[in-house]
Chains A and B, each alone.
Chain A
Amino acid sequence: MGSSKPFLAGFTLAALLFSVIGDAFAADIKANKKRGQVYYRMVCTACHVDMTGSSIPPSGFTMAEWRAYLDADKHDASGRTNPSVRYYLQQTYRESIKDENKAAKKFLKLPNEQLYADVYQFAVNGAKDSDTPATCN
């Protein structure tokens, strides 16, 4: 997910329009924020710290920014990593890291859309303008 600037670079009007999709999608699946928290911290944060030396807490951005980012599904515009957020939440990715990552192993069988909803809810609920800003710790 790159450093914070490339992380959010590439926001477009189109991305903002997609935010509606995210909310509708969230309504279909009952998200488990706790599971999203575990995956976010053990997979997303761990990788970010390894690659960039710093984490990106949910409280680093607003709820609107998180919705726009996740709905646009643009992980990293730099080309160094996969450009899709969803890529990192898919079973195939979890399978590839399961031996060294407990969260990927634990949630290996979880449907992609379910895990996406879980992480989505954790990030948005933990945004800096939310009622419960969350850190990476």
Chain B
Amino acid sequence: MKPDPHKQVAPSGLSRRGFLTLCAGAGAGAAMPWRSFQAAERQQQVPAHSWSRGEVIPSTCNMCVNRCGIKCHVVDGVLEKIDGDSRNPKTAGGTCAKGQAGIMALYDPDRITHPLIRAGKRGEGKWRRASWEEAFEYTADKIDKIIEKHGPEGLLFSSCTDLTEVFFIKFGKYLGTPNFARHATLCLASRNVGYFATMGGVPDADLVNAKYILMFGANRMESFELPHNRDLITGLQNGARLVVVDPRMTVTASKGEWLPIRPRTDMALTLALMHVLIKEDLYDREFVASVTTGFDELKAHVAPYTPEWAEQETGISARTIVKMAREMAAAAPAVVVYPGRRSSWYTNDAQFRRTLPMLMALLGAFDTRGASFFNAGKVKLGSFDWELEPVEVAPRFDGFDEENFPLAHHEDGGYINLRDNILNGTGKNPVKGWMLYKQNTLASVADSAKTLRMMETMDFICAIDIQPSQTAWMADIILPETLYLERLDPLWTPAGTTKYVGIRQPVVKPQGEAKTLLEILQGLGAALDKRREFETPFADVYNFTMEDYLDAQLKKLPVDRVTLMKDGLWIPPGQGLKLGEYRNGNKQFKTPSGKIEFVSERFRRNGYDPLPVYEPVVEEPGRQRLVTGRYAWFTHASNQNNIWLNSLHPENEVWINPDLAKEKKIEDGEYVKVRSPVGEIRIMAYVTPRIRKDTVFITHGFGTNSAGQNTLYGKGGADQALMQDRADTISNNQALHETFVEIVKL
């Protein structure tokens, strides 16, 4: 049963209009309008609706990676409404627009519900329906031929973060390939490397009790971590001062003080803030003496980075910088220097990220109320007894290894690096087969034309997905997976202040012939077993059910699967986060010194600057720096085709400062051309003072090449078509904010 896409009505009768009203009343922080944030604040006055019909099944959302607890109202086998689960300690009953629009992901008329084999040229959009048997044989045959010719290292496995991702990665490992590419280097790898080198991990933040919150580009109000949105709102209600440093005035920035910094100069600001704290003796001497190393070197290092110097770099006045440092010191230790999440900004990003925990440490703003802290850990789930993977495998084809990127997480791979290796033929082995699991590379990696060229070199591309994404559209076969509302997934447990175990379970039957990933891999494995002898036959590896997997996870916990399915979550006794353990020396940081390292030993011994050195910015006259980011209702490039969510924001636009628009005689709402060294798009102009004149902003996920995405096709422009393929030199995280573009009036 599918809705009429033109009426935009779900089987429950809940319409687009009804949806708009509902999502305005729920998840206050997430409700951000397309054009006017003032309008959103008015909408937030609308009370939340309740839904009392049908069976209520608890589960876990998957419209983004946050995994909020949800309650699904099902009537006669049809999902009518999704609410937040008030018992869930992480989300406390909240759910955002995306969470509620899961209904339209389920009943999306564009959803793929049976296997499709390409019947024309790649990207031509000609497909033929195939049975699962044929699909398995076809895919196994292609994989077998690639292994025969190039070995298993001729295969690349790309996946996006999900609870089931482990099954996909395991499949590649049992095949014997060393080549994997995951989400990290499209998103947060540079942040992780910077924090790991400095303090051994990325801390959480006590936003509720903070007195001063400093965010660099982090856009909490429009991102997907609902708990942090709620905490931030509570913190602001408690009187916290919020300062957001960003060339664009995001909704988050609108809730506090916006510092429109010149792009790529963030490190100049952090270095200058440290300069002031040290020069004026405002730093936490006791914390620095007991918990950090390298202070004397830091003091000498930041001496030249004066506020006056930083003013020239950042565009933020020296007076403001001094005032910020003094206010932060006055609020310390109840200060949050927010780590952020997507850090794929610049080529020096890992070094910049290091300065955030360094600033935090000078303020003593760690391991105490209102500051940053390390979480108490997770509930320990049992391990599934997997068959052993092959251990004698070829090295990665692309040199993404300990030698070339010593501090990176090598199993995550790096897209910029691997794509160049494939195109230049510089890899250790040719990669000719690409297995994709919900990874929309064309929409996620800078320079999509280059990704297309890489795809042309592949003998075989298989996409396991729920929709004809840009990348799936270019595949040779699409294997339809069940949606999160139709399947049982591995259990999960969050790292947070409250520990619990959550379950994602089917609330309705699968649409069409869609199969779970486990079923797909079992079928594909059986077809491969017929063709070749593997070290461990797939029949031995995947001879379990998802129920078996969950039972293994629950083996040592006092809760069983049936109870968990009924309750939706399990909260163990003995909660509580004990602060002060690092401050008093009972716990050590996971750094070589066991302390927060101003001078990073890991950076030093691997040949990187052990203290962050500022790189002057080089700009291109007459062009604007392109930055990207998100709106609250979209996750990456995954749900712009969702009928309800698309109705909130039908197409993206390029944000242009009024002064620039005036110079170019561009009116708000007219279409313009945006041109970069690698691409060109046509897109609507949004003239707004919420962005600097030297910067333009384009949100992500539009300009699809997939005519199978009927709601989205032909709307907006793709940011990745414009972005040049730069990467952070230490983590290989792609650097999405390193491209200059020209705005051309049409």
Contacts and interface: CB of A to CB of B under 8 A. Distances in A.
B591 interface: yes
Given A59-B590, A137-B383, A131 B406 contact: yes
Interface residues of A, number: 16
Interface string A114-137: 000000000000001101110001
A102 B660 CA distance: 66
Nearest to A125: B402
Contacts, number: 33
Interface in B352-407: 383, 387-389, 391-393, 402, 406-407
A32 B590 contact: no
Contacts of B200: 133
A131 B606 contact: yes
Contacts of B593: 129
A86 interface: no
B47 interface: no
Contacts of B392: 32, 35
B606 A106 contact: no
Contacts of B590: 59, 128, 133
Nearest to B392: A32
A103 interface: yes
- Which of A62, A102, A103 is packed against the most chain B CB atoms within 10 Å? A102
Contacts of B630: none
B391 A102 contact: no
B383 A106 contact: no
Interface residues on B, range: 20 to 34
A12 to B, nearest CB: 23
A38 B592 contact: no
B690 interface: no
Contacts of A109: none
Contacts of A32: 391-392
A103 B392 CA distance: 14
Contact of B388 (A102, A131, A137): A102
Interface string B589-606: 011111000000110001
Nearest to A32: B391
Nearest to B393: A34
A103 B402 CA distance: 25
Contact of A131 (B387, B393, B407): B407
Contacts of A62: 592
A120 to B, nearest CB: 15
B269 to A, nearest CB: 29
Interface string A56-68: 0001001000000
A124 to B, nearest CB: 13
A132 B606 CA distance: 12
A38 B389 CA distance: 9
A78 B389 CA distance: 35
Contacts of B591: 129
A34 B602 contact: no
Contact of B391 (A38, A59, A128, A137): A38
A131 B602 contact: yes
Interface in A78-135: 102-103, 106, 128-129, 131-133
Nearest to A41: B383
B593 to A, nearest CB: 8
A32 B392 CA distance: 8
Contacts of A34: 391, 393
Contacts of A131: 402, 406-407, 602, 606
Contacts of B389: 38
Nearest to A128: B590
A103 B407 contact: no
Contacts of A103: 388
Interface string A32-46: 101100100010000
A129 B597 CA distance: 12
Interface string A16-47: 00000000000000001011001000100000
B388 A38 contact: yes
A132 B196 CA distance: 10
Interface in B573-622: 588, 590-594, 601-602, 606
Nearest to A103: B388
Nearest to B407: A131
Contacts of B407: 131
Given A59-B590, A129-B592, A131-B407, A35 B391 contact: yes
A42 B407 CA distance: 26
A132 B601 CA distance: 13
B67 to A, nearest CB: 19
Contacts of A106: 388
Nearest to B381: A137
A62 B591 CA distance: 10
B592 A102 contact: no
A78 B591 CA distance: 31
Contacts of B393: 34
Interface in B399-426: 402, 406-407
A132 B590 CA distance: 10
Nearest to B410: A132
A102 to B, nearest CB: 5
Contacts of B592: 62, 128-129
A34 B393 CA distance: 9
A86 B392 CA distance: 22
B555 to A, nearest CB: 13
A12 B170 CA distance: 43
A62 B383 CA distance: 27
15 contacts: A32-B392, A34-B391, A35-B391, A35-B392, A38-B389, A38-B391, A62-B592, A102-B388, A128-B588, A128-B592, A128-B594, A129-B592, A129-B593, A131-B402, A131-B602
Given A42-B388, A129-B591, 8 more contacts: A59-B590, A103-B388, A131-B406, A131-B407, A131-B602, A131-B606, A133-B200, A133-B590
Interface of A: 32, 34-35, 38, 42, 59, 62, 102-103, 106, 128-129, 131-133, 137
In the A-B complex, the 8 residue pairs with the closest CB atoms: A129-B592, A35-B391, A34-B391, A106-B388, A131-B406, A102-B388, A133-B590, A131-B602
